[in-house]
Amino acid sequence: MLPTPSDNVDFLEATYRKIFPQDLEFRDRAVAHLEQLTMPHWALGDLMDLAVDLAGMTRSLKPQVKRKKVVVMVGDHGVTVEGVSKYPSEVTAQMVYNFVAGGAGINALARQAGADVVVVDMGCATDLSELAKPGTILSKKIGTGTQNIAHGAAMTRTHAVMAVEAGIEVANQLAPDVDVFGTGDMGIGNTTPSTAIVATLTGKSLDELTGRGTGLDDEQLDHKKKVLERILQINKPDPRDGLDVLAKVGGFEIGGIAGLIIGAAAHRKPVVVDGFISTAGAMIACKLEPFVRDYIICAHRSMEPGHGAMQEKIGCRPLLDLNLRLGEGTGAALAMNLLEAAVAILTEVATFADAGVSGPPVS
């Protein structure tokens, strides 16, 4: 049994203690099997690496990947008043209704991949109780949007802990019916906190990391960089302390994503991490408990310039590179097909011996 926040223990600490690295024996067994398949050595490249990872995560040579859920964490951001996004904050809630109606990009791509979409209100500025009460969405609302990080911390440290805990709780709640988790986000303005997170945790310059988000022009991009400079100066997040970074320059949905990833790792389930905002959550998760890295699959490389720096920092090469910049978990849904493909290679391809195919000469 995994702990719950109501247990008389430190919930986060207790969850971290459930997280172990990938199993080396299952990795080795997967490698040994893949090397016998009727094809030149490692001829399916990254798919075979992925198959080994899945075996190591799930402790199985027949990893289950059929039951897939993309969890879209929703939160609003006080910093939008600074004019860092092309879209107004109201769009966050409007998009939640769009998710529920099945009309968003993530709905279309999740259907294609055979994945369910689960929407979680972590901190939308709008009252979504009419969706939460009947269970159409999950409510883990910590607050009605973060504070404006251009003036101070996004949230208290307590709220940061609560956001991560809430993400873990979502993972715990869904895990019995899930083989593979995907992360997604919705929150107008959330490339700004994500950029602040990657700047803090990599030490790279804002010039290098700051991107156009939903489509800023040159002047707006310049303004966003100036706002980000102020954010870092005012908040001085401590790069050694993941909760401090989340509290000072993060977001409720980013904390939820971090928690979901931690929870997935505690359940030894692969978690496909989407784009820039999701990977900001993954950076926080890795800071809190480095072993979660072993359960993370980076779906794609997005168009945000800071995304590559994030993936380099957590040490994960993305599967896809399709110039996506939507979020919502869309890249994660796309990549789920590749997880199925990797498992198909591991479980369905004949060996040289089975198929009576001549192998290469042993030298």
Q: List residues near its own copies by CB under 8 A.
A: 37-41, 43-47, 86-88, 90-91, 94-95, 97-98, 101-105, 107-109, 111-113, 213-215, 303, 319-326, 330, 334, 337-338, 340-341, 344-345, 347-350, 354-361
Beta carbon nearer to its own copies, 18 or 86: 86
Residues in CB range of 231: below 8 A, 6 or more apart: 79, 149, 150, 192, 196, 249
**Which neighbouring-strand residues pair with 71?**
118, 183
Cα separation, 337 vs 90, whole angstroms: 33
Given the residues 13, 35, 328, 340, the one annotated as active site: 328
Instruction: Write down the least CB distance from residue 17 to its own copies, Å.
Output: 35
The residue among 11 and 99 lying less far from its own copies, judged by its C-beta, is 99
Nearer to its own copies (CB atom), residue 43 or residue 81:
43
Report yes or no: 263 and 323 within 8 Å, Cβ to Cβ. Answer: no
Other CB atoms within 10 A of residue 34 CB: 24
At how many degrees (to 10) do helices 191-202 and 218-235 cross?
60
Query: Nearer to its own copies by C-beta: 44 or 61?
Result: 44
Strands (E), the chain: 68-75, 115-123, 138-139, 180-186, 271-273, 296-298
- Min. distance of Cβ 3 from its own copies in angstroms? 37
State how far the Cα of 197 lies from the Cα of 249, in Å rounded to an integer. 7
Q: Which is nearer to its own copies, 216 or 245 (CB)?
A: 216
Q: Is position 328 annotated as part of the catalytic site?
A: yes
Question: What is the closest distance, in whole angstroms, from the C-beta atom of residue 286 to its own copies in the complex?
Answer: 24
DSSP track, 53-118? HHHHHHT-SS----SEEEEEEEE--GGGGGS-SSS-THHHHHHHHHHHHT-SHHHHHHHHHTEEEE
The span from the CA of 334 to the CA of 347, in Å, is 21
How far is the C-alpha of 287 from the C-alpha of 298, rounded, in Å? 17
As measured in angstroms, the least distance from the Cβ of 215 to its own copies is 5
State the nearest-atom distance from the C-beta of 141 to its own copies, in Å.
21
Which are the catalytic amino acids? 328
